[in-house]
Chains A and B, each alone.
Chain A
Amino acid sequence: MLKRKTKADRIFLALNYMILTLTGLLTIIPILHILAVSLSDSRAVMANTVSIFPKGFQLEYYKYVLSKHDFYTSYRNTILITVFGTALSMLFTVLAAYPLSKPWLRGRKFLLMLFVFSMIFYGGIVPSYMLMKVLGLIDSLWALIVPFLLAQFNMLVIKSYMEGLPVSIEESAEMDGAGPTRILFSIVLPMCLPVLASMTLFYAVGYWNNYFHARMFISSPEKRTLQLYLNDLIISATQLQNDMTVEDFLNLSPGGVRAATIFAATLPILLFYPYLQKYFVTGITIGSVKG
């Protein structure tokens, strides 16, 4: 039975709705503004008179952005990295987490410590650049996948989830004659689905958003990722370099093109997010009970 709402409850509820609506609006308005700019006439964009409704509706900017070769290649690169990276990451992470979840594994403590150690201490950017160079991965899309194949934190979360599974199920599978590989893929992994889903999402978002390493390891224009493409587009137009030539200046994208590119680049993940969001929340709480 619900308690009847008192006056104070109702005020509290009304305030809650108000504040939540306001914050909701605060986050949506910039997006609407970008969308409106991308659909507006160039003169309105220059005079900065566009608010959240397009002024002088036109689709020229989108036609231009979608006609650009660079835009597609960078999109393709990011999708390749995200798809292959996430798949490989999950494989490596699970293959490391499963044995480490077994208490009888000899040297388990030591191995775990190695993982934790490398999680806490990071060599810095110049050593990683040199490492990538020695491995021959500089200016290769693999440089954006290989270093991130295993995120120790994600591995530890999966490991602790696996530790919570009942041992007897695996034992009975073993009695039925299943080998370790069979047990892992047919018995354990299906039971781990919730944690696997969240970790996949973590990896995917990480690969999609990776900007810093792409900046450092990629030099060829054809291998730029979407994040680099966007950053170059926006930075070059907003922060005029001292040594920028008139020609460079004349080549800059007008505000409308920038807005259209940003919107076209964020739209897919924007559509994707609402469906994945719930895994984000479960992902963060998983493993918080079992330590």
Chain B
Amino acid sequence: MMKTIKPIICFLLVAFLLISITACSGEQSQNAETPSPETSAQTKDENSQNTEDKPKLKVLTWYSANVDINNDPTYHDVVERTGYEVEYFMLPADNPGEKLNLEISGGTVYDILKLSPTDFSRLLSQGVYAQLDEVLASRGQNILNAISQESFDTIRKDGKVYGIPQITERPNIGACLAIRQDILDELSLPIPTNLDEFYHVLKTIKQKKPDMIPYTTDNPFNPIIQSAFGLYDGYPEIDGEITWNGKLPQMREYLAFMKKLYDEDLLDKDFAMNKSDTVLAKFTSGKAAVMPYSWYQAGAGTPDALKENVPQGKISLVFPLEDENGKAGIVPAGFSLNNVSGVMKKSPNLEHAISFMDAKLAPENFTFLTLGEEGVTFTVEEGNKYRPIMPIFTEKRGNAYVYLNGFDEKIYPDMWLARIWRDPNLGEAFEMLNSQYDKYAVKPALAYLPPLPADGKYGQSLNAFVEDTFTQYIMGVKPLEDYDDFLNQWDNQGGLEIIKERDEWYQAQNK
């Protein structure tokens, strides 16, 4: 008897639950259509707009380490200068996209979203953002003065603006190679300037110091070495069309050269497994003689760490290597969009959100909110040489960058250097790497490229595919003869689409 009843009860139970679930969700969707408290709040707010009752704004931004975002000195000044109460929320460092999706699909409403260009374009295609052209015209005069139309152009959709773009602060040469000057002196070698010299230096180090790793790195690419092959730009323009640099014949030569380094033990045998931390540790502990070297590593105590382990250790820089004709170049870091601030369509405070961001860019506020007061937290010499006054600058404006929603593109690139000079080591390292900026910098054909759909679809997996395959070529796991097959695969895995989209964007920009 019991045995027959049990399944029936189970069935009824499941049915009951299913019905109640669908009933619940039905109720929800109805709710969405009838005016909810939120939308009625909206109409109320629009009325109060005239009297300028400033609502509290909710801002979601990406993760920034070590910032007490709702209690920083800059935060308080932002609130005071704009007159808006603001509450900041941060996405997690781990898997921010997942949390973002959950919040957006769960119906959480923020007023301002400050996100990476990739997340921005994803949410834009989901219709999350409000269109801004009219509001910007009426309330965003400072924004329009500060940010160039070219920057706005990169994120327009069907000619309309949905966000406020913030480009990277200042194009700069981010990394060179570091080489142990004391070893060069010991073996009477010059700092290499071209491929032959570079090879000769590594070879001699290997012969004279067999225990050392001549060149350590954590990935198969290096712009300093690639420069000797004329490979500067990842997606260069050749005869008026955009292509991928992997398709150029020089890339094969580059890979063959790297393979030679690997075969002759001049390149770290473990380079495929290295992480940036391991590379740094190998170099500073004196095990390796050459490594990729960014100015922020240089400023973060790398020379000291080396001295600690190798008292005579001294670092010199290897700038982009020259090709046979003496030509060298590198694409600087920072010809890119950094983030985009948009207003959510569901936000009842569209006008206020724009007014808030506009107030921060007003000339009387902008310098104060980014660098503080002249003579107190920073100084200006020779018109555009901004330097911080320490340590008060870090105290008052150390985290000011978190509160930016776009910046004044005419003056901020110079002002930003004050932030680098907070640490004199860092400032010097920056100037050292960029001392020959004009000589080496090659502006990329696709400067300030916005995220394109195919990038989102294939970009990540394609990059991993290229890195894996190049690593295999260098390690000899795959023969370079099948490079054409690789190119076919690359095309088929989305590469063709990526090139096509980029070319279309390029042609539209250069009409």
Most buried by A among B70, B118, B305: B305
Contact of B474 with A by CB under 8 A: no
Residues of B with C-beta under 8 A to A239: 93-94
Could you give, for residues 226-246 of chain A, a 1 whenever the CB lies within 8 Å of some chain B CB and a 0 otherwise? 001001110111111101011
Neighbouring A residues of B277 by C-beta, 8 Å: 48, 238, 255
Q: Are A129 and B401 in contact (CB under 8 A)?
A: no
What's the minimum C-beta distance from A113 to chain B, rounded to whole angstroms? Answer: 7
Assess the A251–B106 pair: CB atoms within 8 A.
Answer: no
Q: A126-B105, A133-B106, A251-B399 are in contact. Are A243 and B285 (CB under 8 A)?
A: no
Assess whether A193 is interfacial by the CB under 8 Å rule: no
Q: Name the interface size band of chain B.
A: 35 or more
Point out the residues of chain A lying under 8 angstroms from B108, CB to CB: 133, 138, 219
A44–B106 Cα gap in the complex (Å)? 46
Q: A126-B105, A216-B102, A231-B94 are in contact. Are A43 and B308 (CB under 8 A)?
A: yes
Closest to B287 in A: A47
CB distance from A4 to the nearest CB of B (A): 54
- Contact yes or no, B305 A248, CB < 8 A: no
Q: In the complex the two chains form, what is the Cα distance from A210 to B198 in whole Å?
A: 53
CB–CB B276/A240 < 8 A:
yes
CB distance from A49 to the nearest CB of B (A): 6
**Is B284's CB within 8 Å of the partner chain A?**
yes
- Nearest CB on B from A98, distance (A): 24
Choose from A215, A247, A250 the contact partner of B99 (Cβ within 8 Å): A215
Q: In the complex, what residues of A have CB within 8 A of residue B426's CB?
A: 250
A133 pairs with B9, CB closer than 8 A: no
Report the separation of the CA atoms of residues A113 and B401 in the bound assembly, to the nearest whole angstrom: 55
Chain A contacts for B399, CB-based, 8 A: 251
Cβ of A220 within 8 Å of any chain B Cβ, yes or no, is yes
Q: Which residues of A contact B88 (CB under 8 A)?
A: 221
Given contacts A48-B277, A221-B90, contact A216 B65 (CB under 8 A): no
B168 and A253 contacting across the interface, CB-CB below 8 Å: no
Is A251 within 8 A of B102, CB to CB? no
Instruction: Say yes or no: B89 contacts A220, CB within 8 Å.
Output: yes
Q: Does A165 contact B (CB under 8 A)?
A: no
Selected from A49, A130, A241, A255, the residue in CB contact (under 8 A) with B106 is: A130
Residues of the B chain whose Cβ atoms lie less than 8 Å from the Cβ of A245: 168-169, 338, 401
Residues of A within 8 A of B280 (CB): 46
Q: Is B103 an interface residue (CB 8 A)?
A: yes
Contact across chains for A253 and B71 when beta carbons are under 8 A apart: no
Distance, CA A237 to CA B309, complexed state (A): 24
CA–CA, A104 to B469, complex, Å? 70
Q: Does B116 interact with chain A (Cβ within 8 Å)?
A: yes
Tell me, in angstroms, the Cα distance from A163 to B33 when the chains sit together: 51
In the complex, what distance in Å separates the CA atom of A70 from the CA atom of B70?
11
Smallest Cβ-Cβ distance to A246: which chain B residue: B296
Q: Are A129 and B89 in contact (CB under 8 A)?
A: no
What separation, in Å, do the CA atoms of A251 and B64 have in the docked complex?
8
A232–B69 Cα gap in the complex (Å)?
14
> 1/0 per residue B265-282: CB within 8 Å of A?
000000000001110110
Across-interface contacts of B401 in A (CB, < 8 A): 245, 247
Asked whether any CB of chain A lies closer than 8 Å to the CB of B302, the reply is yes
**A144 nearest CB across to chain B (Å):** 15
Chain B 116-142 interface residues, beta-carbon cutoff 8 Å to A: 116-118
**Residue B68 lies at the interface, judged by CB distance under 8 Å to chain A:** yes
In the assembled complex, A17 has its CB within 8 A of some CB on chain B: no
Q: Cα distance A170–B28 when bound, in Å?
A: 48
- Judging by beta carbons under 8 Å apart, are A69 and B64 in contact? no
Indicate if the CB atoms of B308 and A130 lie closer than 8 Å: no
Q: How far is the CB of A123 from chain B (nearest CB, A)?
A: 8
A221/B69 in contact, CB under 8 A = yes
Kindly identify which residue among A113, A130, A232 contacts B13, using a CB–CB cutoff of 8 Å: A113
Which residues of A9-33 have CB atoms within 8 Å of chain B's CB atoms? none
Residues of chain A from 196 to 229 with CB closer than 8 A to chain B in the complex: 215-216, 219-222, 228
CB-CB < 8 A to B67: which residues of A?
251
Q: Does A117 contact B (CB under 8 A)?
A: yes
Q: Are B94 and A235 in contact (CB under 8 A)?
A: yes
Contacts of A125 in B (CB 8 A): 102
Contacts of A139 in B (CB 8 A): 89
CB-CB < 8 A to B276: which residues of A?
Answer: 240
- Check A42 against B89 for contact (C-beta < 8 Å): no
Tell me if B65 and A237 are in contact (CB < 8 A).
yes
Which residues of B (35-73) have their CB < 8 Å from a CB of A? Answer: 60, 62-71
With contact pairs A69-B71, A221-B88 given, residues A236 and B93 touching in the complex (Cβ less than 8 Å): yes
Q: Does A249 have its Cβ within 8 Å of any Cβ on chain B?
A: yes
Interface residues of B in 132-178 (CB under 8 A from A): 168-169, 174
Q: A246 to B68, alpha carbons, bound, how many Å?
A: 19
Q: Given B10, B13, B99, B118, which contacts A243 in the complex, CB threshold below 8 Å?
A: B118
Residues in B with CB closer than 8 Å to A126 are 102, 105-106
Residue in A114, A130, A215 whose beta carbon sits within 8 Å of that of B92 in the complex:
A215
Q: How far is the CA of A251 from the CA of B284 in the complex (A)?
A: 22
Q: In the assembled complex, which residues on chain B have CB atoms less than 8 Å from the CB atom of A91?
A: none
Contacts of A254 in B (CB 8 A): 300
B309→A49 contact, CB < 8 A: yes
Known A47-B284, A48-B277, A215-B92; judge A69-B105 contact (CB<8 A).
Answer: no
| A253-B105 Cα distance, complex, nearest whole Å | 33
Taking A245-B168, A251-B67 as contacts, is the C-beta distance between A46 and B94 under 8 angstroms?
A: no
Given contact pairs A130-B107, A221-B69, enumerate 20 new A-B contacts (beta carbons under 8 Å): A44-B308, A48-B281, A69-B68, A70-B68, A110-B9, A113-B13, A126-B105, A129-B103, A139-B89, A215-B99, A216-B99, A216-B102, A220-B87, A232-B65, A232-B94, A235-B94, A245-B169, A247-B401, A248-B64, A251-B399
Nearest 7 Cβ contacts at the A-B interface: A48-B281, A236-B93, A43-B308, A243-B116, A47-B284, A46-B305, A43-B305
A to B CB contacts below 8 Å, 9 in the list: A47-B281, A130-B28, A215-B92, A221-B70, A233-B93, A235-B93, A236-B65, A243-B339, A245-B401
